[in-house]
Amino acid sequence: MDAFLLQILNGLDKGSAYALIALGLTLIFGTLGVVNFAHGALFMIGAFCAVTLERLLTLSFETIDPTKTDFLGNPLKVKTPYVESWFGPETGAAIIDWSVPLALIFAIPVMLAIGYAMERGLIKHFYKRPHADQILVTFGLAIVLQEVVKYFFGANPIQTPPPEALRGSVDLGQMIGFQANAIIYPIWRLIYFFFAVAVIGGVFAFLQFTTFGMVVRAGMADRETVGLLGINIDRRFTIMFGIAAAVAGLAGVMYGPLNPPNYHMGMDFLVLSFVVVVVGGMGSLPGAVLAGFLLGILESFASTTWATTTLPGINQIIIYLVAIIILLTRPRGLMGRKGVMED
Amino acid sequence: MLGLGKKDTTLLIVVAVLTLCAPFILNPFPAGSAMAQFNAGYPDLMQRFVIFGIFAVGFNILFGLTGYLSFGHAAFLGVGSYSAVWIFKLFTYNVLPAIALSVVVAGLFSLLIGFVSLRRSGIYFSILTLAFAQMSFALAYSVLSNPKFNLTNGETGLQVYTDDPQWFHSDRLPDLPHLFGLSMRATHTMHMGDWSFSFNTGYYLCAVVMLLVFYLAIRIFRSPFGMMLRAVKSNQQRMNYTGLNTRPYTLAAFVISGMYAGLAGGLMAAMDPLAGAERMQWTASGEVVLMTILGGTGTLIGPVLGAGFIKYFENIFSKINDTVLHGWFGFLPDGLEDVMVFIVHPFIGKGWHLTLGLLFMLVVIFLPGGLVEGGQRLARWIRGRRAEDSRRKTEPAE
Amino acid sequence: MGILEVKNVSKNFGGLKALNNVTLDVRENTVHAIIGPNGAGKSTLLNCLVGKLIPDTGSVMFDGQSVLGRKPFEINQMGISRVFQTPEIFGDLTVMENMLIPIFARRDGAFRMHAIESVAHESAVLEQAEKMLIDMKMIDKRHMHAASMSRGDKRRLEIGMCLSQEPRLLLLDEPTAGMARADTNNTIDLLKQIKAERDITIAIIEHDMHVVFSLADRITVLAQGTPLVEDEPQNIRGNPKVREAYLGETA
Amino acid sequence: MTKTTVTRRGVLRTGAAAGAGLALPTIFTASSASAYMNEPTGATVTLGFNVPQSGPYADEGADELRAYQLAVEHLNGEGDGGMLNTFSSKALQGNGILDKKVQFVTGDTQTKSDAARASAKSMIEKDGAIMITGGSSSGVAVAVQGLCQEAGVIFMAGLTHSNDTTGKDKKANGFRHFFNAYMSGAALAPVLAAQYGKDRKAYHLTADYTWGWTQEESIKAATEALGWETVNTVKTPLAATDFSSYIAPVLNSGADVLILNHYGGNMVNSLTNAVQFGLRDKMVNGKRFEIVVPLYSRLMAKGAGENVKGILGSTNWHWSLQDEASKTFVKSFGTKYGFPPSQAAHTCYCQTLLYADAVQRAGSFNPCAVEEALTGGDSSLPGISSEANKGFLFDGLGNGQTLYRGADHQCFKDVLVVRGKENPTSEFDLLEVVQVTPAAQVWYEPDHPMFAGGSLGECNPGA
């Protein structure tokens, strides 16, 4: 039972990342009809927003500590971040400690701007082009973005730890009456899950309850008609692209503390998130979210010892296996609309 | 000629001449010069050009004609390679049975996957093929290489060991893949002054095979069968109401292109008897998609150009390092030299991916029809110029 | 005894009754028009005939055989061809290729590797296609890309493609929708000519009364998924029920 | 089997051909003119540095490349000479190799065996490289080693830790300076027993590919021999980026030690996840829960950040070693690049020097002569009585006395057991050496079951 709950939690957690990325992909696909292979790169850039902010906050001046030596035997240069000298060591250290949550604020405008620039500068010209061309150009863009990040930050993963107070784990099992150590779960992973739920809820509420959202939804269903009503739908779609980029970016910022970001993390997620989107059904936002969580949970259960001893290798193929089964039994994925991307 | 139209015959002849003279064409720079870095006329890369050309031409039969975008074609290439290496391990280093088996096995494998995947169309089809290929990759990488049942030798790749049976091998024959005793590695180098040109047995085997399958591809493109496939891409709806069951046609195209992939895989193993699991990964499937789109989807020569383009960057640009740069810009004054090296540095060596990504974007933005369109535009421009020239010349006379 | 017999066909979409107990009889070698206001269920009915939709209840018999459960391509092989509201042709292919495909499909054996040129002299396919293009008055456009033609030409091409398969029943879904008056009249003439020259039954769904009354031998009026009347044109014109349900609106 | 007498026939003919210029094209095959593959005929010799420049190991590859460049400088007599000054063999003079200036070409392995072979082939076929070296994973090392054997050039492996490289996949033309999984286990197990006690229950997470398996097998055997019990061994997919579902069940399994047989990105993430789940704060079976990372690399440890503190592992070499050779190397590398070298850089530097030295001593670039010089000697490591204790013994390259063993071309030297430092003074100061395990303790016989199967075969000069 406790093992079961633990894997549910893990699944929800994995699913959160899948769902957030798939949600953004579907938004872009549903509104603009563009297959965005650079979406994984946006997720990666989000994570590197946190890295960048941390680097900015720890910009330091050097003082020489003659009592110690560096690896070459010279006197050691000690680095003190400017924030620590400006706000005092304690406040300064606290600001640096909280750089990941702060990066959320930092990332929103950055990602919106990147999304906006991407749509206006590049994607706009590809609406009428075949999907194959969209794939090629966004894939090229993904490579470029990733290589630029690699150029500045290197190929190794870079730690973006959560604030001291939010590190470690809580014993959830004990809270609900299991014995100690039965269900221990990291605090940040719980935060990540609730964050994902909040963002997904926010996007849905935005689309459901605002006039802007209503127009966008109408446009997703029938672009021409909405255009005929004299509404500048393109402009709104551009903004939606920015929002989708921001969702991916925020997902990236929050993901950093779970697994240290590296420049190719976007590619690692890219294929998986496409599988999630398609299993959910092209163009369906609830489908994308549902499929994200479903695949996350299935993946978690497939990696239990029980599963891997029963069927060796099942943990490596589960997602693809489930995708095949779902697509063969439900032709348009879980909640797909008819006629979207079928030709 | 050979049942081809005039235009196609010309194309085939041009391709044949280019392929057979590739050792000259690809080595335009003298061996010792600074530009020698850009020479591509060494056996391994020439083989790769041709092999990936075959792969992409085959992929184009499916994607270019029917519009079905498979994201799992690398699996067939991988299966072909594994089959070929198994022939080497069990029977003989002669490449013919190995290549034959790789085509057959890839054909059967693609029949299976195609039969299931073609029940869906559009992106659903793409994801099904992707899923099958990724499963094959994952299994080949770990599960199928466990010590008890080692089919693929996992991460290292399947290779021939000295204690393998090789029942039909004899000591007279080379200890490497060969064609009736003629080693695939045998290379004749011809020196002409500062230039040197390599003529490699393996390359010419690949080249001949490519010309054959390229001819076959032209025939398929021009046949009623090819027309039916293009009709499937153009309007599936009308096709359904024309009394034609499209499934056998698309499945045939899928299997044919799977066999092309298997052939490419078999040749790869024949040139270098090692089959790595990575050649089945989605990135490898994606690469052939990129090759085809980059070159020009649905054109005959496009995929070959795209394959050459990508492989050239992967193998040539990745090898340029700062030392080479300093060599190039050495004639400049010191400060300027460093500036130039600094500017070019991010795009070469470990930055070759960046250059490739930028070129993908540039090509697709400015040449919607791929490299083939670039060629056509160039040809038109030249023709236009010539026409203008002749007009200008004739005008005063009038 | 009609060539196409529709009996008690019903089709629901969710709660919406698109077709309610429709019975219809298309007699051989007639032009049978199905008319009705928007949402009357005309298109749903047509889709049930060609295998795109499967009715919830009822039967559809073509020449004594049920078409239900068969796939569109199988129904076509039985001898039913369909012309769409917006012409469905192979836009990326040339006019000639467009015409060749249905003929190849009819022969059901295009699984060959011959270049078109070499097929020409060994089979009648090319000849047949040329003849049909001449009939359709578009032989001079044979090398054009089909997508670059005018709407009227596309329509004629599509009808030609259907006819080249020598169907026994030709289904037309609003063949003149969105056409200028001149094009509409050309299409009417074409259909009249087809009717006169060929041994063929035509079922036509149409909005335009001018077209309907110029062509139809019999008319079925559909309203809210139910057939109101089935009769000859002159009787339909005077029928008060029809006037109320349909013609009243346009008048 | 010394083949040091090399005919100069090839030199003359090629020279003549070049001299004839455009007048008369001369056609000949490589095999008929040279005594061996890519025999250097001019005033230079070309080495091929094949390292990962793209993909997850690109940083490690970049460090390897820096080391190679430094080694080439030192061989050509530029810079401060580095470990040439401390190396026990004094054959190298700082005037290149056999009076030929050393040049190099570089390539990108992409950490894929196919790409690595392609790039190695291009160096051999196009650039005339006489030796290939580098790499950052065992799959690549084995694949390229096989290629070099077929092509007839020498392969000096870079970072490769799998037993197979000098086990079932060993090749006569291939040589490994780096230590291996067996040695990690043998060095680490006694330290683990001493630090954590002999009554421990271990849970293994293992990367599901060849290296992971040999690592798990080795460390499992070594710890079980000391009384530890293995509770479970779980394979994790190579492509896994999140290990939560593998880490979560560990606490309830009854295990009190988690062994992460992961490397690179896998290691960084699994270790980060394990610390996140609070494993290290827990008491199980009345003991403090511990995590072990058998193969450490400082570059990767940096990626894992704070999480490595106090965690034990093994490494081939570390810049904080205080012997003269290590200090010289760190100074030379650090002065040029501004930071200390990684273990990969150290191994690659050593491999280049060792190769050059072997050529110099053999008096020929012929791979067979090089093999003879590099492993054919009769010297042996002191304190080990074994038939197989025979090869080329050297010192002064940073790991103390080292034997390049003739039987399988594996180096035997001291192995470092290290621990993540609690209070690092700089961003490089991440590991502290806990123990230097003497070579005798990590010694094994060439026919050890973990290395069984496969044979070196004959050296192949490629002609």
Domain regions of chain A by residue span: 2-56+100-329
Tell whether B139 lies on the interface with A, counting CB pairs under 8 A.
yes
Query: What is the rounded distance in angstroms from the CA atom of residue C112 to the CA atom of residue C109?
Result: 8
Low-confidence stretches of chain B (pLDDT beneath 70): 1, 390-398
From the list D61, D65, D139, which residue is nearest B155 (CB)?
D139
- C222-236, D74-88, D253-267, D350-364: range with lowest mean pLDDT: C222-236
pLDDT(C92) > 60: yes
Render B72-110 in DSSP notation, one character per residue: -THHHHHHHHHHHHHHHHHT-SBHHHHHHHHHHHHHHHH
pLDDT score at B393? 54
pLDDT(D10) > 50: no
**DSSP-derived secondary structure letter, A287:** H
Tell whether A147 lies on the interface with B, counting CB pairs under 8 A.
yes
Mean pLDDT over the full length of chain A: 88
pLDDT(A225) > 90: no
One domain for residues D310 and D333: no
pLDDT band with cut points at 50, 70 and 90 for residue C52 = confident
| ipTM entry | 0.89
- The pLDDT of A279-284, averaged and rounded, is 88
pLDDT score at D16? 37
pLDDT tens string B114-124: 999 999 988 89
pLDDT tens string A39-92: 999 999 999 999 999 999 988 888 888 888 888 878 888 888 888 888 888 888
Residue D396 has φ and ψ, to the nearest 5°, of: 85, 20
pLDDT tens string D412-432: 999 999 999 998 888 888 899
pLDDT tens string D140-189: 999 999 999 999 999 999 999 999 999 989 999 999 999 999 999 999 99
Name the more confident of D382 and A31. D382
From the list C76, C91, C112, which residue is nearest B234 (CB)?
C91
Euclidean distance between the first and the last CA atom of chain A, given in angstroms as a whole number: 45
Task: Give me the percent of chain D exceeding a pLDDT of 70.
Answer: 93
**Burial of residue D183, with CB atoms counted within 10 A of its CB: 0-12 exposed, 13-18 middle, 19 or more buried:** buried
Tell whether B234 lies on the interface with A, counting CB pairs under 8 A.
no
Q: Is residue D30 part of a domain?
A: no
B touches A (3+ CB pairs < 8 Å)? Answer: yes
Q: Give the chains touching D; criterion: ≥3 Cβ pairs < 8 Å.
A: A, B
- The pLDDT of D264-275, averaged and rounded, is 92
One domain for residues D173 and D200: no
Other beta carbons within 10 angstroms of residue A138's beta carbon come to 26
One domain for residues D169 and D254: no
pLDDT band with cut points at 50, 70 and 90 for residue D44 = very high
pLDDT tens string A107-141: 999 999 999 999 999 998 888 888 888 888 999 99
Q: Is residue D437 part of a domain?
A: yes
One domain for residues D223 and D342: no
pLDDT score at C1? 59
What are the E-state strand segments in D276-360? Answer: 283-284, 287-288, 290-295, 312-315
Q: Looking at residue D331, which CATH number applies to its domain?
A: 3.40.50.2300
- The pLDDT of C206-210, averaged and rounded, is 82
Q: Which two tokens stand for residue D281?
A: 């704060």
pLDDT(C201) > 90: yes
pLDDT score at D9? 35
Buried/exposed code over B225-244 (b: 16+ C-beta within 10 A; e: otherwise): bbbbbbbbbbbbebbbbbbb
The residues, ordered by sequence, that sit 6+ positions from B6 with a Cβ below 8 Å of its Cβ are: none
The residues, ordered by sequence, that sit 6+ positions from D449 with a Cβ below 8 Å of its Cβ are: none
D touches A (3+ CB pairs < 8 Å)? Answer: yes
pLDDT(C120) > 70: no
Taking domain A2-56+100-329, whether its CATH number is 1.20.1740 is answered by no
One domain for residues D160 and D198: no
Q: Is residue D194 part of a domain?
A: yes
Top-ranked range on mean pLDDT: pick from B389-398, C203-212, D358-367:
D358-367
Query: Nearest CA of chain B to the CA of C162: how many Å?
Result: 8
Angle at D296 between CA D293 and CA D300, to 5 degrees: 110
Please name the residue that has the structure tokens 């049978």.
C32
Full domain range(s) for residue D223: 182-315+416-442
pLDDT score at B251? 94
SS3 B34: helix
Residue D271: closest CA among chain A residues belongs to which residue? A259
One domain for residues D202 and D295: yes
> Hey, are the CB atoms on D303 and A258 less than 8 Å from each other?
no
CB D304 within 8 A of CB D268: yes
> Hey, are the CB atoms on A259 and D331 less than 8 Å from each other?
no
Q: Which residue blocks in A169-222 are alpha helix, DSSP H?
A: 172-175, 187-209, 211-221
Query: What is the rounded distance in angstroms from the CA atom of residue C229 to the CA atom of residue C217?
Result: 14
pLDDT band with cut points at 50, 70 and 90 for residue A178 = confident
Buried/exposed code over C235-250 (b: 16+ C-beta within 10 A; e: otherwise): ebeebeebeebbbeee
pLDDT score at B201? 93
Please name the residue that has the structure tokens 């056998």.
B248
Q: Give the number of beta-carbon pairs within 8 Å between B and D.
A: 145
pLDDT score at D33? 55
Tell whether A224 lies on the interface with B, counting CB pairs under 8 A.
no
pLDDT score at A339? 61
pLDDT score at D299? 84
Query: What is the rounded distance in angstroms from the CA atom of residue B122 to the CA atom of residue B111?
Result: 19
Query: What is the rounded distance in angstroms from the CA atom of residue B64 to the CA atom of residue B69?
Result: 9
One domain for residues D59 and D169: yes
* Residues in a beta bridge with D379: D391
Question: Which residues of chain A does D272 touch, with a Cβ-Cβ cutoff of 8 Å?
Answer: 159, 258-260
One domain for residues D280 and D330: no
One domain for residues D277 and D423: yes
Pairing of strands D154-157, D174-176: parallel
Counting the structural domains of chain D, the total is 2
Q: Is residue D128 part of a domain?
A: yes
Query: Nearest CA of chain B to the CA of D456: how many Å?
Result: 10
Query: What is the rounded distance in angstroms from the CA atom of residue A201 to the CA atom of residue B108?
Result: 47
From the list B119, B141, B297, which residue is nearest A328 (CB)?
B119
Residue D111 has φ and ψ, to the nearest 5°, of: 50, 40
> Hey, are the CB atoms on D242 and A259 less than 8 Å from each other?
yes
- C166-170, D4-8, D355-359: range with lowest mean pLDDT: D4-8
pLDDT tens string A244-257: 999 999 999 999 99
> Hey, are the CB atoms on C89 and B252 less than 8 Å from each other?
no
pLDDT(A172) > 60: yes
One domain for residues D56 and D140: yes
CB D55 within 8 A of CB D265: no
Q: Is residue D388 part of a domain?
A: no
pLDDT score at C251? 38
Q: Is residue D17 part of a domain?
A: no
Q: Is residue D456 part of a domain?
A: no
Domains contained in chain B, CATH given: 6-319 (1.10.3470)
Q: H/E element holding D302?
A: helix D298-304
pLDDT(D391) > 90: yes
Domains contained in chain C, CATH given: 4-79+167-250 (3.40.50.300)
B touches C (3+ CB pairs < 8 Å)? Answer: yes
Query: What is the rounded distance in angstroms from the CA atom of residue D131 to the CA atom of residue D125?
Result: 12
Its pTM stands at 0.91
- Give the amino acid at A139: F
pLDDT score at C187? 86
Query: Nearest CA of chain D to the CA of B71: how many Å?
Result: 18
pLDDT score at C71? 86
pLDDT score at D28? 35
From the list A17, A159, A305, which residue is nearest D234 (CB)?
A305
CB A72 within 8 A of CB D330: yes
The residues, ordered by sequence, that sit 6+ positions from B187 with a Cβ below 8 Å of its Cβ are: B43, B198, B199, B200, B201, D29, D30, D125
